[in-house]
Amino acid sequence: DRTAVTVIGLGNMGVALAEAFLKGGHPTTVWNRSANKADGLVAKGAALAATFADAVAASPVVIICLSTYEVMHEQLSPLTDELSGRVLVNLTSGTPDQARNTAIWAAEREVEYLDGAIMAVPQLIGLPETLIFYGGSKTLFEAHAPLLRVFGGNAAYLGDDHGAPLLYDLALLTMLYGSVYGYLHAHAFLSTANISPTAFLPFATNWVNHVIAPSITNPDSARALEERNYATDVSNLNTNKLGLEHIIRASKELDIPAEWLKPLHAIAAQQVAEGYGNDAFERVFEALRKS
Ligand code: NDP
């Protein structure tokens, strides 16, 4: 497969995508608002399009990786004939509804559209284990899967909902930010006694591997959420509510912020007040999920 391709958006990620195509031997056209970012790619054989419209017109398959959907639509909206019949694969981050609305926009213009979400940093583009989510027509995905695997061997097709890749992406990202915030809060605590992150590292590693990871990547917990059955003999909401209170109280004593935990504590306290104190901490999900 030596399909000609266009990559639009040469930020950190777009450059890595274009490089993967060049490595794979694909005739590659590129475009970026700041044209100088194409210099390294042109030296490796890419063609730099003079305008956005030229870039779209240059190839049957167009990959877009810009900062936001707003930026992408600002560029796309003046285009007319150039678009029809193209395959557009959008790897720009945003919300599921932005992806769904873009799919409607594409269908109105006879553009074949796949939405995707890259679950990796640019350095991981092109590796067999790199995970990228895709959503849209199955036929369209399957026809282009070999091409898309140039970016990452683990190209996961999620079905015909164009919003699914970004929904999965946001699910994983909120897990990430929750964990990283907790990690930074931990070091705020430790810094009050001058304990260095390096000194703490062995304990953090043990905790993540043997307590956190097994508790959130665990079929029993997944089933509890699915069945909304929160029975436990391990650690109940009562105990965890008190745990949150200790963190909040200690944060105050040590003069570090704990605002981020207060909404979580409020949910746990409400559920304990409603008589669910013996349920598992997963019961908090009842207050978070869409009813
Ligand atoms: P960068 O900030 O490096 O690049 C942003 C890109 O958007 C550049 O091409 C920039 O052009 C372009 N851009 C921004 N504003 C405008 C505008 N008003 N008009 C035209 N072009 C504009 O971001 P990344 O490459 O890191 O990210 C791109 C997308 O990939 C994002 O949606 C990001 O969430 C996603 N992504 C990134 C990952 C990463 O690790 N980097 C991981 C997974 C997803 P210019 O060069 O001219 O400024």
What CATH number is given to the structural domain containing 100? 3.40.50.720
Domain region containing 32: 5-160
Per-residue pLDDT 10s for the chain (291 aa) are 789 999 999 999 999 999 999 999 999 999 999 999 999 999 999 999 999 999 999 999 999 999 999 999 999 999 988 899 999 999 999 999 999 999 999 999 999 999 999 999 999 999 999 999 999 999 999 999 999 999 999 999 999 999 999 999 999 999 999 999 999 999 999 999 999 999 999 999 999 999 999 999 999 999 999 999 999 998 999 999 999 999 999 999 999 999 999 999 999 999 999 999 999 999 999 999 988
CA of 144 from ligand 1 middle (Å) equals 23
Nearest to 67 by CA among 96, 92, 104, 42: 92
Measured by CA distance, the residue closest to atom 1 of ligand 1 is 11
CA of 7 from ligand 1 middle (Å) equals 12
CB contact at 8 A, 162 and 115: yes
CA of 15 from ligand 1 middle (Å) equals 10
Answer yes or no: do 138 and 81 share one domain.
yes
Atom of ligand 1 nearest to the CA of 66: 7
Residue 193: what are its φ and ψ, rounded to 5°?
Answer: -120, 20
pLDDT for the residue numbered 57: 96
Measured by CA distance, the residue closest to atom 12 of ligand 1 is 66
User: What is the rounded CA–CA span in Å between residue 57 and residue 89?
Assistant: 15
CA of 10 from ligand 1 middle (Å) equals 7
Answer yes or no: do 72 and 121 share one domain.
yes
The domain boundary, picked from 141, 160, 179, lies at 160
The domain boundary, picked from 160, 182, 209, lies at 160
Measured by CA distance, the residue closest to atom 46 of ligand 1 is 34
Structurally, the chain folds into a number of domains equal to 2
Kindly state if the Cβ of 92 falls inside 6 Å of ligand 1. yes
**ipTM confidence:** 0.99
pLDDT for the residue numbered 1: 76
User: What is the rounded CA–CA span in Å between residue 141 and residue 133?
Assistant: 11
| Letter string b/e over residues 218-246, b meaning 16 or more CB atoms within 10 A of that residue's CB | eeebeebeeeeebebeeebbeebbeebee
pLDDT for the residue numbered 62: 98
